[in-house]
Amino acid sequence: MTEFATEFTPVAAAIGGALIGLAAALMLLFEGRIAGISGILDGVFRRRGDEEAPPAWQAVFIGGMALGGLVLLVVQGSVERDFVMTNLELSPLLVIVAGLLVGFGTRLGSGCTSGHGVCGIPRLSGRSIVATLTFMAVAVATVFVTNHVFGFGGLS
């Protein structure tokens, strides 16, 4: 339908998902922390108080993620797979508005896809299940309206 539509890749998705789950599991079993990226990022911008794992564990975790991003960038050329690249031509203004909404919204809603989705759903947290259903449904509606009604969305 659109040139940007991607193919269904269930195996890579499940393997990648399992790695994400494993990463979150390490944080739980070793540090007792929820691997919620919006919350961790929020923590990076706070003054250090009584955190147990010096230096602030949040910054170390984000550093690990950034390192992962660099490795993905280096590796994707040699394996001819796209890990970190996009063909979308998103308007910078739209991206900035989206970023503001994601930053503000995830803090107001106390979590994002990782904290509510990956870590909240398996412990059957009612709040996380409601939050995940809400942001999924609203995002689906947003993609529908922007791409199929107005035609300015990323996929159109």
Partner 1 sequence: MIRQLVVLASGFLFAIGLGISEMTRPEKVLSFLNVFGDWDPSLAFVMGGAIVVYAAALQLAGRREGPKFGKEFHIPKIKEITPSLLIGSALFGVGWGLAGFCPGPALVASAALVEPALYFLPAMIAGILLHRYTVERRKTG
| Sequence-distant contacts of 59-65: CB under 8 A, at least 24 apart | 61/27, 61/35, 65/37
Task: Give the type of residue at 78.
Answer: S
Q: How far is the CB of 80 from partner 1 (least distance, A)?
A: 14
Q: Nearer Cβ to partner 1, position 29 or 80?
A: 29
Q: Nearer Cβ to partner 1, position 2 or 78?
A: 2
Q: How far is the CB of 71 from partner 1 (least distance, A)?
A: 7
Round to whole Å and give the CA distance between 67 and 93.
28
Q: How far is the CB of 104 from partner 1 (least distance, A)?
A: 4
Q: Compute the radius of gyration of the chain from its Cα atoms.
A: 18
Q: Nearer Cβ to partner 1, position 14 or 48?
A: 14
